[in-house]
Chain A
Amino acid sequence: MASEKFVIPIGPQHPALKEPGHFEFNVDGEIVTDASVRLGYVHRGIEKGAETRNFVQAEYLVERICGICSHVHATAFCLGVERLAGVEAPPRAQAIRQIVAELERIHSHLLWVGVAAHEAGFDTLFMYTWRDRETVMNLLEGITGNRVNYSANVLGGVKCDIGPEQAEAIQIGLNFLEERTRHYLEVVSSDAMFLRRTRGIGVMTREDAERMGVVGPTARASGVPRDVRIDAPYLLYAEHPVELVIEEAGDLEARFKVRVRELFESYRVIRELLTALPEGELTARIPRRIKPAETISRVEAPRGELFYFIKSNGTDSAERVKVRTPTLPNMASVLALSVGHQLADVPMILAGIDPCFSCNDRMAVVKRNGDEQVWTWEQLRQYGIEYYR
């Protein structure tokens, strides 16, 4: 058994993964000696779809790239298109966008704590964090009208207002959540059995983190001070900033602590915005046809830096929309970190980066020795038909 080379496939269907992705780990007994990954199971052609729809329709298409970070996708797209048109959304709309974005971050981090606890076999923490997540989903439903895929944005502003009733509901919800989050921080940092699964596992040094280019809470847990809300403030993050939440240890415990502490920052920013909500309109007028230009748009999704490149060509559709989601750079770190660890730690390490496979799948053109192939739609269809025959 000791010298036998064993390949353990995790995925595309596996209880550890919530979405399909194919990992192959070479194990020697219980120790992982090599790892590789194959993505692309959830490629839906969203970037191509955005080229054939007008800007208004494309916003809802990119919103559905991911369920848990849908609002930041829509926000990044709207910010990019507004910048192309030279229009700025009114301050009240920006404040509401920021409130919904921070509520989404709360939702995402609570979900993640539950999922990571489930990977560790700690189902009780999973059940309780998901129960408390219902509070924030009900808040979002009260504000925007839907629990997931909020569709709060329109080009030029927001669709939904936050009146005194919603503001009060948010305050009550946040009070409850803050008390629960304090309890979870205590559980995550002091429960002896849980720490045996997280302390010292998956350690990533700061040099490795910077070399591999990881983003988001995964990087901040290794001491890399990278947060788009602070480095390049958008919406109203310049007036109502968040503080950088950073840990030095770089192991799984640090990643837990960073995300739970970020929750406190979100609560604080939302409360600040609610007391200082600017008056005004909710939308600004934006032309249908956008003059030819290119722009980039960077926002901080719950998982890290989300990057959009939008190019317009004078019509009412985009010429090119390119999305780079935070899970893509973080995925390389999983492969590097899992070598040398036990097989039982691998799901935890994978969960530690908060993977979102749906966000991940983009097309890449690989140029090999100048032999570049660009296929037309018909050629692609024909290739697919031949392949599956």
Chain B
Amino acid sequence: MSTLTALMALLFFPGGLIILLVGLAYEWADRKLVARFQNRIGPRWFQPLADIVKLLAKEEVVPQGVHPGLFVTLPVIALSGALTAALYVPVFGLAPSYSFSGDLIVTVYLLSLLTLCTGLAGANTLNRFSLIGATRTLTQLFSYEAPFLLALLGPALAAGSWRISTIADYGADRWLILAQPVGFVVALIGLMGKLELPPFDAPEAETEIVAGALTEYSGRGLALFRLGKGVELVVGLTLVAAFYLGGVANPIAFFAKTLALLGVLAGLQSLLARLRIDQTVGLWWRYGTILALVQFLILIVWKGLAA
């Protein structure tokens, strides 16, 4: 790509500014849907944007006892990880800006970079709530990562490639949700774990540990983390929609499918109580991994038979 188009893609469209705004819009849609399920009105359309603007305008308080360099740079690294991951997935139904063989693994690990930065940010402070939140974040990271990756590898195996654009094209007319329903369920629930949505929000359980790993953050740092979470939401939904729901060939299909998935996520969020961290780990390492492995085995056997 020429330098100008590359810069455009990185900073403006489809990466950068536009995806930040779309991430905020998806966060709004999620909050509005959950509010409607709870018979409330919910926030107005500009609420997440207003939150970010307010946070950016506030003073960032660096608490005592932290490593100041780490404190300030971790949010930046987290957001850049999420934004970089967005470059490899077909957001808005357009072809990814960059693509190479094996970029599926890179994307998943870039998304994990955000969670890792959250955990490190929590461990960086002296605040007890942050420390417990950091422990829980990292514990949860270790538990859902394997099944989530396996669930995304199912379509990769079917398509015979590690490249996201190839897999998305392969799934373009085949609705793999019908062929691999178990994989789809594990991928969707894994997405909830990655995004720390209820019932997997033990790392940021408000009534137990205030705000978890991000308790000490305010102002710019918190704004960057929240933007990163919004981008992670869009990227995760795109991955699951592109792989399982028949690809995202054009913007209309993209928005329709990802918003439908978001509706399902919002429904699950409002209907399930929070799980304790040990219950989360138990659930994932018992059922999640086994289901994903079973799905994988079926695929391998089927592929072997078909060959």
State yes or no: do A and B touch (Cβ within 8 Å): yes
Minimum CB distance partner of A346 in chain B: B208
Cβ contact of B39, chosen from A6, A9, A131, cutoff 8 A: A131
Residues of A within 8 A of B277 (CB): 30, 344
Whether the pair B206, A15 counts as a contact (CB closer than 8 A) is yes
**Does residue B273 face the partner (Cβ distance < 8 Å to A)?**
yes
- State how many angstroms separate the Cβ of A19 from the closest Cβ of chain B: 14
Known: A9-B128, A343-B132. A16 touches B37 (CB 8 A): no
- State how many angstroms separate the Cβ of B1 from the closest Cβ of chain A: 45
Whether the pair B210, A14 counts as a contact (CB closer than 8 A) is yes
**Does residue A8 face the partner (Cβ distance < 8 Å to B)?**
yes
Cβ contact of B271, chosen from A118, A120, A124, A347, cutoff 8 A: A124
Q: Which 3 A-B pairs have the closest CB atoms?
A: A121-B274, A122-B273, A127-B38
* Interface stretch (choices B69-77, B144-152, B194-202): B194-202
Cβ contact of A7, chosen from B38, B128, B276, cutoff 8 A: B128
Known: A8-B128, A345-B276. A16 touches B270 (CB 8 A): no
- State how many angstroms separate the Cβ of A273 from the closest Cβ of chain B: 32
Q: Which secondary structure dominates chain B's binding surface?
A: helix
Whether the pair B274, A128 counts as a contact (CB closer than 8 A) is no
- State how many angstroms separate the Cβ of A92 from the closest Cβ of chain B: 38
What is the bound-complex CA distance between A342 and B274, given in angstroms? 14
Known: A120-B274, A123-B270. A15 touches B128 (CB 8 A): no
**Does residue B64 face the partner (Cβ distance < 8 Å to A)?**
no
**Does residue A197 face the partner (Cβ distance < 8 Å to B)?**
yes
Whether the pair B39, A121 counts as a contact (CB closer than 8 A) is no
What is the bound-complex CA distance between A16 and B199, given in angstroms? 18
**Does residue B40 face the partner (Cβ distance < 8 Å to A)?**
yes
Whether the pair B273, A120 counts as a contact (CB closer than 8 A) is yes
What is the bound-complex CA distance between A124 and B209, given in angstroms? 20
- State how many angstroms separate the Cβ of B197 from the closest Cβ of chain A: 11
- State how many angstroms separate the Cβ of B158 from the closest Cβ of chain A: 33
**Does residue A119 face the partner (Cβ distance < 8 Å to B)?**
yes
Instruction: For the A-B complex with A123-B198, A124-B270, A124-B271 known, give 12 more contacts whose Cβ atoms are closer than 8 Å.
Output: A6-B131, A8-B129, A9-B128, A121-B201, A121-B205, A122-B273, A123-B270, A127-B38, A127-B39, A193-B273, A193-B275, A347-B207
**Does residue B135 face the partner (Cβ distance < 8 Å to A)?**
yes
**Does residue B279 face the partner (Cβ distance < 8 Å to A)?**
yes
- State how many angstroms separate the Cβ of B137 from the closest Cβ of chain A: 14
What is the bound-complex CA distance between A128 and B37, given in angstroms? 10
Whether the pair A342, B210 counts as a contact (CB closer than 8 A) is no
